[in-house]
Amino acid sequence: MNIRRKLLMATAAGALFLSLPTWAQTATKTYALKPVKIVVAGPPAGGSDTMARLIAAELTPVLGQSVIVENRAGAGGIIGTKYVADAAADGHTLLLGHVATNAIVPALVVPRPYDPVNDFEPVVQIGTAPDLLVVPSKNAPKNLAELLARAKPDNPLTYGSPGVGLPQHIHGHSLSRASGAAMRHVPYRGSSPALIDVISGQISMMFVTPGAAAPFIKSDQARALAVASSERSRFFPDVPTLQELGHTGVEQQVWFGIFAPGLTPKPVIDLLNAEIVKILAKPEVRAKLEGIYTEIAPPHKADVFKAFVKGEADKWIGIIKKSGITPE
């Protein structure tokens, strides 16, 4: 769908909304005219998928239409994310996006598969989930310093990630540069197979989302040595930050949010923002998100999230250039 056609559709949709004098009272009836789709640019059962299904279930009675989750995995999140960027700008196709899909990938991939700022309308931030640096419990180093000491030029540490250019890859690359420790990246098709190789000792370590790592940590198959955030996680209070351990410039926040296609009318964005903020305030929803180790974002209007995403997109262009990481 070209931008001209999309602009005409968005203008027509916006005129429809604004022509209704009682829009505020009838918004859900005039907007959700058919089922709403939340696209997850990854496989089922991951953190993004869990968040999307939770929000979809809560939005369905609010909108009076089925809200379904559709997984469109592939190409490091590009397939699903671009699908939403190209969708009709009417609010019926949404994206459960995150720092990789909406900041890192468009900064890394050439030619850029989509514009992270102009091709999307940020709706609301859901929360953050900082990655943990984990190692196998068997013969595990006691701390990060001991792990890094095991790295040798002719026998580097190996670190896994769910894909090239994803936050977990960049964390490992940045730690190698910051510490001077020799490391070799081993990309996988997702976190699960990489974690299996960590606990079996096939690779030395990996950065991984807390939700994926927690079962292995609880069963004493893996040990967390550090958290890749500026402050300790309240879910893992005994795990130090990389900055505490003397490695600055490595920490990065992993965030999640809901996006609509660019040029989606503002009344639709504002409606979705208001309703999802209410959903995130529900105790039962908060409990489920905290159950996957997500720090829920403070309530903000859509324009606040939009400014945040713009800053993140700009920031990651600089980080990628400085890191020297390229698509492999």
Tell me which of 232 and 2 has the higher pLDDT: 232
Whether residues 56 and 145 fall in one domain: no
For residue 77, being part of any structural domain is answered with: yes
What does the DSSP 8-state code read for residue 294? P
For residue 239, being part of any structural domain is answered with: no
Q: Is the pLDDT of residue 27 over 60?
A: no
For residue 249, being part of any structural domain is answered with: no
List own/partner pairs for 72-76 with CB under 8 A and 24 or more apart.
Answer: 72/39, 72/40, 72/41, 73/40, 73/41, 73/42, 73/43, 76/100, 76/105, 76/109, 76/163, 76/164, 76/165, 76/166
Whether residues 124 and 137 fall in one domain: no
Whether residues 212 and 260 fall in one domain: no
Whether residues 117 and 261 fall in one domain: yes
Q: Is the pLDDT of residue 202 over 90?
A: yes
- pLDDT-derived band at 42, boundaries 50, 70, 90: confident
Whether residues 99 and 56 fall in one domain: yes
Q: Is the pLDDT of residue 146 over 90?
A: yes
* CATH number of the domain where residue 208 is located: 3.40.190.10
Which structural domain range is residue 86 located in? 3-129+254-323
For residue 184, being part of any structural domain is answered with: yes
* CATH number of the domain where residue 57 is located: 3.40.190.150
pLDDT at 220: 96
pLDDT at 304: 98
For residue 61, being part of any structural domain is answered with: yes
Q: Is the pLDDT of residue 2 over 90?
A: no
Number of domains in the chain: 2
Whether residues 74 and 89 fall in one domain: yes
Whether residues 286 and 185 fall in one domain: no
For residue 217, being part of any structural domain is answered with: yes
- Render pLDDT for 3-17 as a digit per residue (tens, 0 to 9): 444 555 445 444 444
For residue 237, being part of any structural domain is answered with: no
Q: β-pairing, 255-261 with 93-98?
A: antiparallel
